[in-house]
Amino acid sequence: MKNRQVPDEEPKAPVTMKPIHTPEYKRMRERLREAREAAGMTQEKVAEDLGKPQSFVSKVETGERRIDPTELEKFAKLYGKPVTFFLGGEGREGTKG
């Protein structure tokens, strides 16, 4: 089926996608990557330890996949960090300041 336009109808502009992640969520993703690297782990090793495919870890770190609090807790335990490290404000140990 061909894409046909109705005569005298203006073509619609492409929809611009707004970012779906807040700055806080972006910071959490960055900290997940930082914690993995600090632990000396590859995405493959993390995936193996979590029982997930490597693409899961990659998509979480890039924001293609959102994680829920229980998944965040599993990452935190694996990396030896408190959950607040990933959720906190400016402080790297999860405290504001």
**85-75-57-65 Cα dihedral, nearest 10 degrees:** -70
Q: What is the pLDDT of residues 76-96, one digit of tens each?
A: 999 999 999 999 865 444 444
Residue 7, domain member (yes or no): no
Length of the chain as a residue count: 97
Q: What is the CATH number of the domain that holds 41?
A: 1.10.260.40
Residue 12, domain member (yes or no): no
Residue 5, domain member (yes or no): no
Residue 30, domain member (yes or no): yes
Supply the range of the domain harboring residue 39. Answer: 23-81
Residue 18, domain member (yes or no): no
Residue 16, domain member (yes or no): no
- Whether the pLDDT of residue 4 is over 80: the answer is no
Domain count for the chain, please give it.
Answer: 1
Residue 68, domain member (yes or no): yes
Query: Cβ contacts of residue 94 below 8 Å, gap of 6+?
Result: 82, 83, 84, 85, 86, 87, 88
Q: What is the pLDDT of residues 27-81, one digit of tens each?
A: 999 999 999 999 999 999 999 999 999 999 999 999 999 999 999 999 999 999 9
Residue 48, domain member (yes or no): yes
* Of 17, 32, 91, the residue nearest 65 (C-alpha): 32
